[in-house]
Chains A and B, each alone.
Chain A
Amino acid sequence: MPMCKRLALLIVISVLSAPAQSPKHGVGRKPTEQEMRALGVTVAPDGTGLPEGSGTVAEGRALFAQRCARCHGEKAEGNIGPALHGGQGSLATPKPRKTVGSFWPYAPKVWDYVNRAMPFDQPGLLTHSEVYSAVAFILFLNGLVGENEVLNAKSLAKIRMPNRDGFVPDPRPDIKRK
């Protein structure tokens, strides 16, 4: 390889790998396993990271009445908190209704959000299995699982949300100059 080409390649490699250089400042330390666990669960859109545990629609219905209905309404029709079902087919109309069923693209992310942020006044209260139950009930209300569905890491990852392909990249600037 001629020198100049080799040099160019070297520059390209060094630019690409610039962030992977050795640490310059040497601050901090490696987190312990305990510290990593304390970060809690983050679930990827494809379900990677979903923990053990399982829940049913029936358990979810009872849990919902107890913990969720106060804000979301008895039938999850929305109150202080948003409606959690309905609106499928409404997104391209003048009155779109964005709900879990009509708008959310990934079922595992419903689990992730309920687990990290609900119930509103005590996030983190629910066990992993309770979160599966709550999600099972919400998906049942949206017609996305049957009444006897048992949700766990495997079954939840398989559910395809109706609006899975409803998101597009940012095309801006999108204003035509006159």
Chain B
Amino acid sequence: MKKTSRRQALGAALGGGLLAGAGKARAEDARTLGKPLSGYSERSPFVKSMRSTRQSKTPEAGSSATPLAETYGIITPSALHYERHHSGVPAIDPAQHRLVIHGLVERPLILTMDDIRRLPSVSRIHFLECGGNSGGEWGPKTGPDAQRACGLASCSEWTGVPLRLILNEVGLKPNASWLIAEGADACRMQRSVPIVKALDDALLAYGQNGEPLRPGQGFPLRLLTPGWEGNGQVKWLRSLEVTDQPGMTRDETSKYSDLMPDGKARIFTLPQEAKSVVTFPSGGQTLPGPGLYELTGLAWTGKGRIVRVEVTFDGGHTWRDTRLDEPRFRMAFTRFRLPWRWDGKPATIASRATDESGYVQPTREQLIEARGMNSGYHFNGIKLWKIAADGIVTNADV
């Protein structure tokens, strides 16, 4: 008899057990072939993550929020990137699309998409956040889950041409100080961009996560002003007018301005301040029982890199550092993680981000103290989740 090792004996025993079961197979238990190759893949039918939308009589104007708690890492799947439209998503043939750069320039230019794609390009990972994200958090009824509390934020790898390169082509006149960007959507939405940002890190983006922009993100061309509120990053970009003053457009005066208790409204509050949210455990989830979990979440800032994210388990009395995923990009989502053993007792958890400017994410109470209840936009307060003894996680603010 041949000598068998312990491992072989073990393997035979396990395999024998499995084979014994399989040995009873009837013809109808035979395995079927999987689906054939395809040109474009769909996600598993078992994966159901969706953007949140609301019933509306004007579904062309509104927003859909990213299910932040159902994403991994720092890249938002393009199909789940939040959207905010003012008059629907236009269907644009890229061969017909043009960008005109005019106004206070030496040489006005009209560019085709082919022209733009011939220019030196870069790819960069940046978050995008609506200036109205978490608007509901100002009020008495705050968001029940990460998606509805702060899902108007997403992060992608964007590819495009540095805007300063194109401004060099047209030649700015000495009094050039603003750009008015206009989209090719039905309402021809306009926002003004300070020339300083345009000459710094702004991009004319045509790529997102390895493919052309999705139509809802501005196909074929959008403006990207990294770290600044989403509304100014005009989609379906058709015109850049160089001016010596801001356009004072509807969306930068009557909207996206922050009304203070004294009746004055802050205007051009453009960089998004540091913010974070715990996505696990978070509202709407249930912990099946005590034991080990990986607490995780996302942090971002419009002022460079996130340098620290702390978490609390006692409603903000004590804080612990988390581990930040590397590399950390400027004006991009940063993923934080912390192994955590739940003892089964009620807990109130939250995260607090600090960015490289030294800015620390404030509490909701601090924000309300500084700005009142009616500023509406640019909420970046700490979001608390309550874990009950039965493991059910809810919004702690209600």
Contacts and interface: CB of A to CB of B under 8 A. Distances in A.
Interface of A: 16-31, 35-36, 39-40, 42, 44-45, 71, 80, 91-92, 94, 96, 98, 100, 103-106, 109, 112-113, 116-117, 120, 123-124, 166-178
Interface in B350-398: 359-360, 362, 366-367, 370-371, 373-374
Nearest to A31: B110
B100 A35 contact: yes
A109 B248 contact: yes
Given A27-B115, A35-B98, A40-B188, A173 B266 contact: no
B248 A106 contact: yes
Nearest to A177: B360
Contacts of B273: 172-173
B171 A20 contact: yes
Contacts of B253: 103-106, 109, 167
Contact of B108 (A30, A120, A171): A30
Contacts of B263: 91-92, 96, 166
A168 B264 contact: yes
A178 B316 CA distance: 13
A123 B188 contact: yes
Interface in B170-191: 170-174, 176, 180, 182, 186-190
Interface string B64-99: 000000000000000000000011000000000010
Interface of B: 57-58, 60-61, 86-87, 98, 100, 102, 106-112, 115-116, 118-120, 164-165, 167-174, 176, 180, 182, 186-190, 199, 238-239, 241, 243, 245, 247-250, 253-254, 257, 259-271, 273, 359-360, 362, 366-367, 370-371, 373-374
A175 B264 contact: no
Contact of A98 (B110, B187, B259): B259
A62 to B, nearest CB: 24
Main secondary structure of the interface of A (DSSP, over half): loop
Contact of B245 (A17, A45, A103, A105): A45
Top 6 closest pairs, chain A to chain B, by CB? A92-B263, A117-B187, A91-B263, A31-B110, A28-B111, A19-B172
B267 A35 contact: no
A172 B269 contact: yes
A21 B199 CA distance: 14
Nearest to A103: B254
Contacts of B109: 27-31
A44 B165 contact: no
A24 B170 CA distance: 10
Given A35-B100, A168-B265, A96 B259 contact: yes
B245 A20 contact: no
A25 B366 CA distance: 50
A19 B166 CA distance: 9
Contacts of B188: 40, 116-117, 123
B133 to A, nearest CB: 16
A104 B174 CA distance: 30
Contacts of B241: 42
B250 A109 contact: yes
Contact of B268 (A17, A18, A170): A170
A116 B266 contact: no
A115 to B, nearest CB: 9
A117 B250 contact: yes
Contacts of A171: 266
Contact of A120 (B87, B116, B170): B87
